[in-house]
Copies of this chain bind each other. A is one copy, B any other.
């Protein structure tokens, strides 16, 4: 049997209330008894029981983390890194993260994650795009809900987002500063806010530089922004548009697909075509040439979400804060100045 608060109290020669006060380091406690109690705790190797604590305090100490299967199993560790960020942060904050995945095609009749139903969590973090019907169902529960890298258009929740617009501007400016004017944008479904925002940044940067965005240079018809679709989109653009000298891909996966296409078609990167991605994913470095990209601080995104959650829990802070996490230009070898 593990030691309980009683054992500690007995050993330290105080009451259990005093032990409790020490554990929660209440101010009004003499440093003398504090020491005594702390010694007893250490000697007995005592840890407070979570369930007892939770039972009385009406909290669980758990945070739910919801992700679609797709996102969790994505080849590149993007959302898993975000999860890790929350986990790291949770370790200090005395929280546990309950990770669960839902089907990407979650529908009305699918059950909610069990931790919602049996109230095993104090709040829920949702990472990445999830179906709107899930958001609706989640919203009905009186639980703090925080989004990361996605947010519902309909409702107003606290959210941690990548500064995609700025990232789009930075990426495009980099290309412009290297003398490129005919810059293609290769993206996926524009209904995804992140992709749309990166496109907005791209257009803004072009306009700022006095360059008129050319619709023929822009591909946003791919359903999903992955390698294969990057390849296909590049094919479509480059087989008709001969003036393009640079590509801004909406993420690294697509950028890699674009690179494959260009190589297959005999283009040299970056001599013939410059290319910049977005995300900064591990395999970028293994590419030939290594990919210039916009770094998204994934661990930081997750950590920020958990901090936001803890604050919400602590201060019952219900105003829907939005946190924009800045991104960073990482110049490697896939872009080249043509001035």
A contact residues vs B (CB 8 Å cutoff): 2, 47-52, 54-55, 60, 62, 69, 72-77, 80-81, 84, 87, 91, 96-101, 114-115, 117-120, 227-228, 282-283, 286
Contact = CB atoms under 8 A, between A and B. Distances in A.
Contact of A283 (B75, B84, B87, B286): B75
Given A50-B119, A118-B50, A119-B2, A87 B100 contact: yes
A52, A96, A97, A283 interface centre (most CB from chain B within 10 Å): A96
A69 B77 CA distance: 11
Given A47-B117, A80-B80, A87-B101, 5 more contacts: A47-B118, A52-B55, A55-B55, A75-B75, A98-B98
Given A49-B55, A118-B48, A98 B101 contact: no
Contacts of A120: 50, 96
B77 A91 contact: no
29 contacts: A47-B117, A47-B118, A48-B118, A49-B55, A51-B54, A51-B60, A55-B55, A62-B96, A72-B77, A72-B84, A73-B77, A73-B80, A73-B84, A73-B282, A74-B77, A75-B75, A75-B76, A75-B282, A80-B80, A84-B101, A87-B99, A87-B101, A91-B114, A96-B98, A96-B114, A96-B115, A96-B120, A97-B99, A228-B286
Contacts of A69: 84
A42 to B, nearest CB: 13
Q: Please name the 9 residue pairs, one residue from A and one from B, whose CB atoms are nearest each other, closest first.
A: A51-B54, A51-B55, A47-B118, A51-B51, A73-B77, A52-B55, A50-B120, A96-B98, A55-B55
Contacts of A54: 50-51
Contacts of A60: 50-51
Contacts of A100: 87, 91
Contacts of A99: 87, 97, 99
